[in-house]
Amino acid sequence: MAEAALAADRVHGDPAIWIFRRPDGDVLADARALEAEGPRGRALWGVPFAVKDNIDVAGMPTTAGCPGFSMMPAADAPAVRRLLDAGAVLLGKTNLDQFATGLVGTRSPYGVPRNVFDPALVPGGSSSGSACAVAAGIVPFALGTDTAGSGRVPAAFGNIVGLKPTTGSVSARGMVPACRSIDTISVFARSVDEALSVQRVIAGYDVEDPYSRVAPFPHLRRGSALGRVAMADVGGLCEPDVAAAYQAAGVFLKAEPIEIGLFLEVAHRLYEGPWVAERSAALRSIIDMRPDVLYPATRAILELGLERRAVDAFDAFHLLQEARREAGLLFGRYDALLLPTAPFCPGLAEVAADPLGPNRRLGSFTNFANLCDMAGFAVPIGFGPNGVPIGGVLLGPAWSEGRLAPLADALHRQFASTVGATGQALPPSAEPDTLAADETALFCIGAHMAGLPLNHQITSLGGRFLREARTHAGYRLFALGNRPGMVRADGGSAITGEVWALPTSAIGALLVQVPPPLGFGSVALDDGPVLGFLAESAGIGDAPDITHLGGWRAWLRTKSGD
C-alpha cells in the first residue's frame, strides 16, 4: 500500500500538497518493518496517511504554513501517535492555509494544492493538502483540523468525506491552535465508515489537554440508518447548482424545513467580531514581534483581532449560549441537520482579486458547528457544471458521530459512486455494530421509537437503533394518552417495535424518566427475550385497547387520518 501511495503521489505530481514529504526510502522502510511484524491486531496496519502541518510529528518540523514559525517538536501529537501505534504509515505533512486561517486553500507560501477536478478552482481549506491527498488517491485517509469548516469545505471540493468530530473528543495536544476553545483535529477519508474507523483510533480523553472531554458513552459505534432530518431554506444563499443538489439531498433524506437564522447569525457575529481575537491570542507573540513572517491575508485577519474588546466578547458569549440552547432544542426534535457544505466553489482568480469576501462566504454553513458544539460528516452530494463536486454536511449534537454515520453513508452513496477524482469505487459500507458487552438491547414500542417525541431520551444517552422487531403473540397494547402501555396477556397479539442498543449504565438514567404505570421488564420477541417497556395492568384502567393495530405507529397513523 505504501508503494502504491508513493506511486500515486508521483503520478499526481502536485508538490504543493506537501510541506514536508518524507523520503520514499523512509516510508518504505516503515512499511517493510510493519510487514515483517505482521498485523498483530492493529486496525490500520500498513495503511498510508498524511498529517496537516499544524499537527506535530516528532522529528519533522511543524510550520502551520508559516516558515518563520517553524519549530521541531520533540513528541508526536497523541492523535498521530495513536495512528502510528495502530500500524499506519506516515507519508508526510500537508499544506494548509497559514495557521489554519482560511477556507480557500490559497493562503500559503508553500503554493496552492491543485483542485483535483478543475485547476482553475480553489482546493478549499484550510486543510487543503490533506484533502487533496485523499481526493487524488494518494492516501486513503489524512488528518486535518476544523475550527470553522477547515475539515469540511476541502472535503466538498475534493469529492471525499470529512469527519468533524465532537470538539474535545480527540486530544488537541500537539496541534497549533487556531481558536483553541473550539478547535478539533478532523479526518478526511474515502467513505464515512473509513472515517469512523480512523476516529475510533484517534479519539480518547487526554488529561494533559485542558479542552479534552470524556465521552459520556461509546459514541463511535455505528447504528442503522434511521433518523429524522431537518434542513433549512438556504438555497438562496447558494449557487443554483448547489441549491439544487442540496434540495435533492433533502428530498432523499425526507428532511423537514426548519429556521436556522440564529445559527447563521451567531457565526457571522462571532467571526466578524470577538472570536477573531481568539485566533490572535494563539499567535500573539508572532503578531506583536514578527508580523512580517505572516501571509498578507492572514496577517490582516489576525491584526484585526488585537483590537477587539472584552465587553463585546461577553455579548458574544450570551448570544452563543442562546444558539447552543437552540441547538439543544433542535436535536431534541431531529437527529440531524442537513446543510450545504459550502454555497459555491470560487475560482483562484476570484480569490486573488478579493482575498476576504469569497473566503467569508465559504464558511456560511460550517462556521457555527463548533461554536454550537455539534459534530458532523461532510459528504459528496453530487456534481455541478463541468463536474465540480458539491458537498453536504449532516450535523448532530456532540457525541453523535456513530449515530450520524449510517445516515451520512446512505446520503454519500446516493449521490456519489467514486472516491475523489480517482474513479475508484467507494469502499463498501460497514455493517452496523452488533450489541456490545457494555450495551443492553431495549425493546421500544412507543414514543421512544425513531423520530417520535421521546426518542431523544434514548439517543442522548448513547442509544443507537439496531432493528425493527415483533413480540410473540401474547401481548395487548393500550393507548395511554401520548404513549402506549403493553401488557402481557393470554389471547393477545404480536406487537411491532424497535430494538435499540443502550449503554447498560444508562438504563437507570432512562428508567427514572419513565412514569408509572410504565416500566421495564423482559419481553418475548420472535428471536428471544429482551428488556422492554411494559405496563402494569393495574394502571391501564379504561384506556383504549389498540392491540388489533399491531403497533404504536399504526395507532398514530389512524389518529393523523392518513
Partner 1 sequence: MNAVEIAAAVTSGRTSAASVVEDCLARIERLNPVLNAFTAVLGDRARARAAAGVKGPLAGVPFAVKNLIDVAGLPTLAGSKINRDHPPAAADASLVTRLEAAGAILVGALNMGEYAYDFTGENVHDGPSRNPHDISRMSGGSSGGSGSAVGGELVPLALGSDTNGSIRVPSSFCGLFGLKPTYGRLTRAGSFPFVSSLDHLGPLARSTADLAVSYDAMQGFDPADPACVDRPVDPVSGVLDKGIDGLRIVSADGYFRAGASAEALAALDAVGKALGASRSVTIPEAARARSAAYIITTAEGAALHLDRLRTRPDDFDPDVRDRLIAGALVPAVAVVQAQKFRRWYQQAVLRLFEHVDAILAPATPCVAPLIGQKTFVLDGKEMLLRPNIGVYTQPISFIGLPVVAVPVPTAAGLPIGVQIITAPWREDLALRIARFLEAGGVARAPLPKLEG
Which residues bind to partner 1, rule: CB under 8 A?
A: 235, 240-241, 243-245, 247-248, 251-254, 382-387, 410, 414
The nearer residue to partner 1, 237 or 435, going by C-beta atoms, is 237
66 near 99, Cβ under 8 Å? yes
Active site residue 52: yes
Active site residue 126: yes
Pick the catalytic residue: 93, 108, 126, 127? 126
Which residue has 462566504 as its cell numbers?
Answer: 361
Pick the catalytic residue: 150, 212, 224, 364? 150
Q: Which residues pair with 444 in a beta bridge?
A: 498
d(CA 315, CA 310): 9
Q: How far is the CB of 402 from partner 1 (least distance, A)?
A: 20
Q: How far is the CB of 247 from partner 1 (least distance, A)?
A: 4
The nearer residue to partner 1, 86 or 416, going by C-beta atoms, is 416
No. of helices (H) and no. of strands (E), the chain: 18, 18
The nearer residue to partner 1, 90 or 253, going by C-beta atoms, is 253
Q: How far is the CB of 390 from partner 1 (least distance, A)?
A: 8
Active site residue 254: no
Q: How far is the CB of 403 from partner 1 (least distance, A)?
A: 17
The nearer residue to partner 1, 193 or 409, going by C-beta atoms, is 409
Listed in sequence order, the DSSP H helices in 272-382 are: 275-282, 284-289, 296-305, 310-333, 348-353, 357-362
With a CB cutoff of 8 Å and minimum separation 6, the contacts of 220 are 196, 199, 200, 203, 401, 402
The nearer residue to partner 1, 118 or 312, going by C-beta atoms, is 118
Q: How many other C-beta atoms are found inside a 10 Å radius of the C-beta of residue 478? A: 22
Q: How far is the CB of 344 from partner 1 (least distance, A)?
A: 14
Q: Is residue 127 helix, strand or coil?
A: coil
Q: How far is the CB of 235 from partner 1 (least distance, A)?
A: 7
Q: Which cell numbers hold the place of 136?
A: 487524488
The nearer residue to partner 1, 177 or 389, going by C-beta atoms, is 389
Q: What is the CA radius of gyration of the chain?
A: 25
C-alpha distances in Å from residue 444, one per residue of 334, 516, 521 = 18, 16, 11
DSSP code string of 48-74:
EEEEETTB-BTTB-B-TT-GGG-B--S
> Which pairs with CB-CB distance under 8 Å and at least 24 residues apart come from 509-512?
509/461, 510/442, 510/457, 510/458, 510/461
What is the set of active-site residues?
A: 52, 126, 150
